[in-house]
Amino acid sequence: MCLLYTLSFICLFSDLMSLKLNQKTLTLIKRAKVARLGTVDQKLYPYVVPIVFVFHENSFFIPLDEKKKTVNSKNLKRVKNIEKNPNVTLLIDRYQNNWKKLFFLMIHGKATVINGNSKLMDKIHKLLISKYPQYKKIGIGNSCIKIEPTKVRFWSNS
């Protein structure tokens, strides 16, 4: 961990290679309702989409749900990108007018698409319904993106 003084702000960066997340970080993850998923296509162009997620057993799970889409879930650009290159970034952040409350959590990881029914998918579905009650009316689907973090960077302006 190091302190970096820039433009009179104190920035706290920490790389958590062991991924033993402290309670503050876990609380930020649990409270976050939305994040951004960054992938790279085969032409090396970045592709970023807003997503919902749950965190379970040190991994992030992003549903490939049944909300209205222009293509079926298997043909989503994020899924195609992950099939070609599993390296992803997940960004969880909070903007406030009071800049002393700004933070971001950047998670680099390896993504895979999980398909089918299993005890793990049942657990993920229950967690998603608990966090996002909208899923009681919209199908969650039988697939999700699983991200296993390899590096976590946290920044806070407090």
Residues 85-108: pLDDT tens digits? 999 999 998 888 888 888 889 999
Residue 16 above 60 pLDDT?
no
The residue-averaged pLDDT of 30-52 equals 95
Q: What is residue 45's predicted lDDT score, i.e. its pLDDT?
A: 95
The residue-averaged pLDDT of 61-79 equals 82
| 49 within 8 A of 37, measured Cβ to Cβ | yes
Q: What is residue 19's predicted lDDT score, i.e. its pLDDT?
A: 62
- The pLDDT-based confidence of 83 (bands split at 50, 70, 90) is very high
Q: Which range of residues forms the domain containing residue 129?
A: 2-156
The residue-averaged pLDDT of 18-24 equals 71
3-state secondary structure string across the chain: CEEEEECCEEEEEEECCCCCCCHHHHHHHHHCCCEEEEEECCCCCEEEEEECCEEECCEEEEECCCCCCCCCHHHCHHHHHHHHCCEEEEEEEECCCCHHHCEEEEEEEEEEEEECCCHHHHHHHHHHHHHCHHHHCCCCCCEEEEEEEEEEEEEECC
102-130 residues labelled b (16+ CB within 10 A) or e (exposed): bbebbbbbebebeeeeeebbeebbeebee
- The pLDDT-based confidence of 38 (bands split at 50, 70, 90) is very high
- The pLDDT-based confidence of 74 (bands split at 50, 70, 90) is confident
- Number of domains, the chain: 1
Residue 10 above 50 pLDDT?
no
Q: What is residue 96's predicted lDDT score, i.e. its pLDDT?
A: 81
Q: Which CATH number characterizes residue 131's domain? A: 2.30.110.10
The residue-averaged pLDDT of 4-24 equals 46
Q: What is residue 158's predicted lDDT score, i.e. its pLDDT?
A: 77
Q: What is residue 89's predicted lDDT score, i.e. its pLDDT?
A: 97
